[in-house]
Amino acid sequence: MNAHFQSIFALATPMGRSALHLHRLSGENVFAILSPYILSPHNKKSVDLVSLAKKSEGRACTRYVYIIDQEKNEIDDVVLTIFPAPKSYSGENIIEISVHGNPLISAKLQSLLRSIGMRDAQPGEFTQRAVLNGKIDLAQAEGINQLIHAETLGGVELARHTVDGVLSRETGDLRAQIISILAYLEAHIDFAPDEVGDYEPASLLPQIHAVIERLNKLHATFSSGLKMREGVKVVLLGKPNAGKSSLYNALLRYDRAIVTHIPGTTRDVLEDRLVIQNKDFVLLDTAGIRATEDEVERIGVERSLQSALSADVICLVIDIHKLDCSQIHDHILSEIIQFFSSVKLAEEQKIIPVVSKQDLLTDEQISMLHEFNQNFLKLTKDLEYKNCLNNNLVLISSVNTELLCKNLVNHHSLIIGEVSKKENPTLISVRQKDKVLNAINSLNECSKLIAIKDYPEKIASLINHSKHSLEEIVGEIHLDNVLDKIFSTFCIGK
Ligand SMILES: Nc1nc2c(ncn2[C@@H]2O[C@H](COP(=O)(O)OP(=O)(O)O)[C@@H](O)[C@H]2O)c(=O)[nH]1
Ligand SMILES: [Mg+2]
């Protein structure tokens, strides 16, 4: 028998003490192998799983039964479900057994399974078999792995889309387009011009460019997908005592950062996950930015500026509560200008100026802020990098973070863009991204050969490369070492 297809088993739930342990068995012969050890609770006669599968007409079927060992000692009373092939996760016959969640019971069951000819499954081996049996493709298998390992809601959502086949359909469509380009070239390789017309490869360019454009769009989904999986990075920056750590704690809803009236309290960069309206963020609190002789604080300031470089959104926290109304406009502008001069931002990085300590502000100060907002465009028009400014608005916020949260959620949608929609494909692994890049490179190379009207054989070979790269995404071409590498990161029992 092919080693790949020996019957395998694994505990699919963690091996701790819990209400239940779920064991999973997969293989052509599992029903026959296990039947002698399954007893009906009523008459203590063995339950023939092979005939049960026949009776259930290929559908899953669940029974409450006893499992005994080779000496006919009872191992446990269990709930057992059979999934006859091909309507099972792996495409083979599968049995799932829920035993009482005691490691000793599970160990007894596993030792029975080993002694009756099954072996322990490798990580991801059930899913690997699902791929080999054509139940799912490789991209979907990667989705399943991420569905289990994702640490954010966004990560789960993207993995879900991939498991549902959104990426597989996109690569399938692109592949079909590439094949139609290939058909033209192959016609000119196989037949003379009087049969298939003159060889005019330039006529393929619009189609090739359309595919490249679609591939480029797909390639770009990797980084926005990564942000959706890991969270949009929000950094709180500002002068010492501006109220950054207080805002940090208010957003996180617990006292995470130390807050004191002493300037320079925060030294290290603090980082936490934050979820607002099911959107994932990574929130960073930083040391206040100022020139300082204190060696530790100086390092803290450097780290603050460093973290700004990798931020998606920077909340520039500004304290105006001690200022005269007449000073407010100039003060906010100068903080923004100082910030732009200390950190060189990319256009896609956004700044939200946030005025803190709302409760300490007078009505006059607040109306000055409203006035500032109304004239924001005019006031900031000469600023370099003004594209980075959020919606041209200064928010008033401190312990009341509602408005800021609303803004962060809006930013999240802008940054993540289309990838969050379930109909849009997203690349979820570096492997997939590399394959798309290979496909793009081959097609770009193709355009160059077309420009010099090179032989159809040479152009076709490059088109074939790009087709193969797309096929590798879904695993239509699979090499054993690639599969082993991918599945080694899976859980045992999946
Ligand atoms: N009344 C009031 N005090 C605040 C507010 N935010 C911060 N503070 C005070 O301002 C001081 C500095 O706050 P902190 O959050 O440590 O500022 P950081 O240095 O920017 O992190 C502390 O004494 C805080 O209690 C606020 O919204 N209202
Ligand atoms: Mg602080």
pLDDT for 342: 86
pLDDT for 24: 98
Distance 327 CA to ligand 1 centre (A): 21
Please give the average per-residue pLDDT across 135-143, as a whole number.
Answer: 96
Range of weakest confidence among 41-55, 56-70, 279-293, 376-390:
376-390
pLDDT for 52: 96
| Residue 158, token pair as written in the block | 């993207």
For ligand 1, is residue 259 a contact (CB within 6 Å)? yes
Is the pLDDT at 183 greater than 50? The verdict is yes
pLDDT for 482: 65
Please give the average per-residue pLDDT across 384-392, as a whole number.
Answer: 69
The Cα angle at residue 160 between residues 14 and 173, in degrees rounded to 5: 140
pLDDT for 198: 86
For ligand 1, is residue 398 a contact (CB within 6 Å)? yes
Instruction: Please tell me the class of the 144-224+428-487 domain.
Output: mainly alpha
pLDDT digits (tens, 9 = 90+) for 218-235: 999 999 999 999 999 999
Answer CATH for 233-420 from 3.40.50.970, 3.40.50.300, 1.20.120.450, 3.40.190.10: 3.40.50.300
For ligand 1, is residue 266 a contact (CB within 6 Å)? yes
* Per-domain boundaries in the chain: 3-133, 144-224+428-487, 233-420
User: Exposed, middle or buried, 382 (CB in 10 Å: 0-12/13-18/19+)?
Assistant: exposed
Report the binding-site residues for GTP: 241-246, 260-266, 285-288
Q: How far apart are CA 89 and CA 133, in angstroms?
A: 10
Q: How far apart are CA 393 and CA 370, in angstroms?
A: 9
How many helices (H) and strands (E) the chain has is answered by 18, 13
- Give residue 481's pLDDT band: very low, low, confident or very high (50, 70, 90): low
pLDDT digits (tens, 9 = 90+) for 409-446: 999 998 888 888 889 999 999 999 999 999 999 999 99
pLDDT digits (tens, 9 = 90+) for 292-308: 888 888 888 888 889 99
Is the pLDDT at 35 greater than 80? The verdict is yes
For ligand 1, is residue 262 a contact (CB within 6 Å)? no
Quick check: helix, strand or coil at residue 367? helix
Strand order in the sheet with 38-39: 38-39, 61-68, 74-83, 94-100, 20-26, 8-11, 119-120
Q: What is the mean pLDDT of the chain?
A: 91
Distance 264 CA to ligand 2 centre (A): 7
Distance 261 CA to ligand 1 centre (A): 7
Quick check: helix, strand or coil at residue 291? coil
Distances (CA, A) of 413 to 62, 153, 212, 281, 409: 44, 14, 26, 12, 7
Please give the average per-residue pLDDT across 30-51, as a whole number.
Answer: 94
pLDDT for 268: 86
Residue nearest (by alpha carbon) to ligand 1 atom 7: 243
Level-2 CATH architecture, domain 3-133: 2-Layer Sandwich (3.30)
- Give residue 191's pLDDT band: very low, low, confident or very high (50, 70, 90): confident
Strands (E), 241-330: 270-276, 279-285, 313-318
Is the pLDDT at 2 greater than 70? The verdict is no
